[in-house]
Structure 1
Amino acid sequence: MRQREAIRQYVEPRGYELEFFEDKAKSGKNTQRPEFERMLKSLEGRPKVVIVSKVDRFARSLSDLLRILEFLGHNGTGFISINDPGIDTTTPNGRLLLQILGAFEEFERNMINSFTKAGREKAMNKGVKFGRPALKTRNGSFIDKRKVMELKGKGLSARAIAKSMECSITPILKILKEDH
């Protein structure tokens, strides 16, 4: 209720027409919320401004926020967070602040990717294998190498063996290659 009142107090002197969209008991971390989606659909047509009490009530991740703000901008809709000073896309300074936030978000994403890559390489150097074990079927059971060789002896192709054993062709080819 305090959020609604804060928004009303902000809007009244500015003469904005006000419509509330509120997903009760829904997390801001998910953008698939009924009222949120209804709000986005309502933006078509006349110029609008989305006003929130705080950014974290609107979107929980910076990437979601920036993606939504890009959508709003393409639709000629401004965005104002009344309790986050400077976040107002209806002003040049507010747009600049969001562009800076976007740059930090991209930097953070790149850092996470490089840490993940380095960790993966370190694990691989220690012998850790990634992905599904090569000698398992789709349901998780181990492939019987003798059965593979028996089917090969009957003249079945690697593809036919894989199909009959319900697995991909890769482990079948690996088994056949090892046997030669």
Structure 2
Amino acid sequence: MIVGYARVSSVGQDHGGQVDRLKAAGAEKVFSEKQSGLDRERKALDRCLGFVREGDVLIVTKLDRLARSAAHLHQIVEALNEKGVGFRVLDDPSLDTTTRTGKLVFGILASIAEFETALRRERQLEGIAKAKAEGRTGGRPALITDDVKARIVALKGKDMSVRKIAAEVGFSKSAVQKVLEATAEDA
């Protein structure tokens, strides 16, 4: 069975053209959705990938309709391969895992994705090491200084309510409560 997947990024767009092309290419069942490709949760894609069976072929009009990145594409195609499902892209005939050449192209794409991931990880680790060497530990700098903490504790000592303390020091009630709880734990 040929199964199609169509996606557009926003509610204002229409995937009717994609659906028509997929059906013209022989898709007997088409899953479609209006969802950003960057969203991790794409329900129609999940249903589509759960629906396909051994011997089926999943088709899309363009590669970017299916995957967020080369790594994501490799992950999807690997899952399809494990199920014995082929994959084709209508706008790029070289991307067809039902042929030897298509499998080769996907192998090359997978290698590039793996290489990109390794480079990104290496740069990330270098950046972290550099920041640590410069004394930066990451994260957002603390806004509540020791002086503000002392002022919060002093105002609470005068039986002022958390809401009034928050208004006085210019922080949220929850921030004031966290300071008071931390102070109580330290005592």
**TM class by smaller structure:** 0.5 to 0.7
Gaps of 5+ in 2: 1-15, 142-174
Contact kept? 2:80, 2:86, Cα under 8 Å:
yes
What TM-score comes out, normalization by structure 2 length?
0.64
Shift of 1:130: 3.7
1:22 paired residue among 32, 36, 59? 32
Contact kept? 1:51, 1:80, Cα under 8 Å:
yes
Shift of 1:112: 0.9
1:6 paired residue among 21, 46, 50? 21
Contact kept? 2:22, 2:30, Cα under 8 Å:
no
In 2, the alpha carbon distance for the partners of 1:63 and 1:30 equals: 15
Is the deviation greater in 70-79 or in 83-92? 83-92
Q: Deviations over 1:38-95 (max 9, x none)?
A: 2122124x52000000110111222221111111000010000111231101011111
Q: Structure 1 segments of 4 or more deviating over 4 A?
A: none
Equivalence for 1:40 = 49
Relative distance call for 1:96 and 1:7 in structure 2 (3 A) is same
**Equivalent residue letter for 2:63:** V
SS at 1:89 equivalent: coil
Higher strand share goes to which structure?
Answer: 2
**Equivalent residue letter for 2:42:** R
SS at 1:47 equivalent: coil
In 2, the alpha carbon distance for the partners of 1:38 and 1:50 equals: 12
Equivalence for 1:50 = 58
Contact kept? 1:50, 1:77, Cα under 8 Å:
yes
In 1, the alpha carbon distance for the partners of 2:40 and 2:25 equals: 25
Relative distance call for 1:132 and 1:27 in structure 2 (3 A) is closer
**Equivalent residue letter for 1:127:** G
**Equivalent residue letter for 1:77:** V
Contact kept? 2:52, 2:58, Cα under 8 Å:
no
Count of paired positions: 139
SS at 1:4 equivalent: helix
Shift of 1:7: 2.1
What TM-score comes out, normalization by structure 1 length?
0.66
RMSD (CA atoms): 2.9
2:68 paired residue among 60, 69, 77? 60
Contact kept? 1:29, 1:61, Cα under 8 Å:
no
Higher relative contact order (CA 8 A, sep 6+): 2
